[in-house]
């Protein structure tokens, strides 16, 4: 027997959240690419202490941040395509961002080097990923994304 999954019409906020999420995450993917490729202009905009800290973090933190940012971009694309996998992808991105945050706050002196703005940005990133994950789960339960 073949089951037919029926979608309800797409609310306007799905497109708004999807496009804003895509642009938000694309910005951080771009920033991450500048960091891992060693773009001189990217590094020139930092204090020497910040540059030394970011160049000496363990490889796994760069990978975790990459998974978080690329996962956020993929999750946004899946949301725009109305695929329920967006929820899981955002959740994986959130876990990756949490792993990096644990390193910065509890396993290194990153909090002191990055200062209050760096700490606030990390918390904002986590908050946005939580919101994206919860939103996609809600849209999936309502049958908007399947």
Q: What is the pLDDT of residue 9?
A: 86
Which uninterrupted H or E stretch holds 97? helix 85-102
Mean pLDDT over 83-104 rounds to: 97
3-class DSSP assignment, residue 7: coil
Res. 24: pLDDT tops 70:
yes
Calpha distance 130→41 (Å, rounded): 31
- High-pLDDT (> 70) share of the chain, %: 95
- Residue 112's pLDDT is what? 93
Per the structure block, which two tokens stand in for 18? 């999807």
Instruction: Give residue-wise pLDDT tens across range 28-64.
Output: 999 999 999 999 999 999 999 999 999 999 999 999 9
């Amino acid at each position: 027997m073949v089951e037919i999954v029926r979608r309800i019409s797409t609310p306007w906020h799905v497109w708004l959240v999807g496009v804003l999420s895509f642009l938000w995450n694309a910005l951080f993917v771009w920033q991450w690419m500048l960091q891992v490729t060693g773009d001189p202009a990217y590094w020139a905009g930092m204090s020497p202490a910040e540059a030394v800290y970011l160049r000496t973090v363990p490889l796994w933190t760069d990978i975790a941040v990459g998974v978080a940012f690329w996962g956020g971009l993929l999750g946004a694309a899946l949301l725009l395509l109305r695929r329920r996998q967006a929820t899981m992808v955002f959740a994986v991105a959130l876990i990756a961002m949490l792993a990096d945050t644990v390193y910065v706050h509890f396993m290194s002196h990153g909090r002191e080097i990055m200062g209050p703005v760096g700490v606030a940005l990390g918390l904002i990133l986590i908050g946005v990923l939580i919101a994206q994950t919860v939103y996609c789960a809600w849209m999936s339960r309502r049958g908007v994304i399947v």
